[in-house]
Amino acid sequence: MTVALVTGGAGGIGAAVCARLAALGHTVVVADLDLEAAERVAKEVGGTAVRTDVSDPADNHAMVAHAVAAHGGLDVLVLGAGIQSDVPPDPGLDVARYRRALGVNLDGVVFGVDAATPALRDSGGQVVVNASLAALGPELANPVYALTKAAAVAYVRAMSTPLARAGVRINAICPGFTDTPFLGITARLMRKQKFPLLSPDEVALAVETVVTGDGTGEAWALVAGRPAAPYRFPDVPTTMLPDGTEVVLKPFLSAKQ
């Protein structure tokens, strides 16, 4: 039996991911701040539910402990919990909203990876982070949201090597505009302009593609009308000595790794 844990699993993309993973044969743990909704999804997919505030390190450890205690381990962790920042690009930063966006969209990734790594090391498992297309290009109307998603992708790429040494894969998916309540009034405006939106099922299919693959450290871009594919980041410039010699710094890891 393989076990998958999905944060933000109570609705929208998260619920579609839970259904997709259950169809693949995983026992699914639905983690969400809304326990009642999480329990409904868990009942539909034959799994269990746990109330989780992903911005709280203790809650992240508790959700992993639930998966291990209730189902014997953890094989797949999908970090899908996310919120809009509601912070416009105009001066006058709302610090409380800024901190909340970072707490859910970024801390929820870092804390989730940290809490789950021991269990995933035991199973040779993997992490999939639900980021956003906003991580790959400037999101002019929502820079704080873009900040959180870009940071999450950077973390995935940086952690892929140390996690690989522990036998754990980690990847991100970066979907574009998706037809869920998350979009709010934006969805109506897009439909009026006949702008095609992704469905939650299409995003869940991209998660399946990543879960059943073998890559790590990748960010999969997904937009309506195109299949999901790994985004090709440009090479960073190399350091050059005065004599014209290029110098590349070899990656280094902590002594524990």
Active-site positions read 145
Which tokens hold the place of 247? 């110098």
**DSSP at 105:** I
DSSP per-residue letters across 152-219: HHHHHHHHHHHHHHTT-EEEEEEE-SBSSGGGTHHHHHHHHTT---B-HHHHHHHHHHHHTS---S-E
**Burial class (CB within 10 angstroms; exposed 0-12, middle 13-18, buried 19+) of 148:** buried
Cα angle 217, 130, 64; round to 5: 90
> HSE-up of 7 (CA within 13 Å, CB side)?
36
Cα angle 209, 85, 146; round to 5: 55
| Distance of alpha carbon 8 from alpha carbon 31, whole angstroms | 6
Query: What sign results for the dihedral spanned by CA atoms 74, 76, 77, 81?
Result: negative
Q: What is the pairing mode between strands 126-130 and 76-79?
A: parallel
Q: How many residues in total does the chain contain?
A: 257
254 residue type, one letter = S
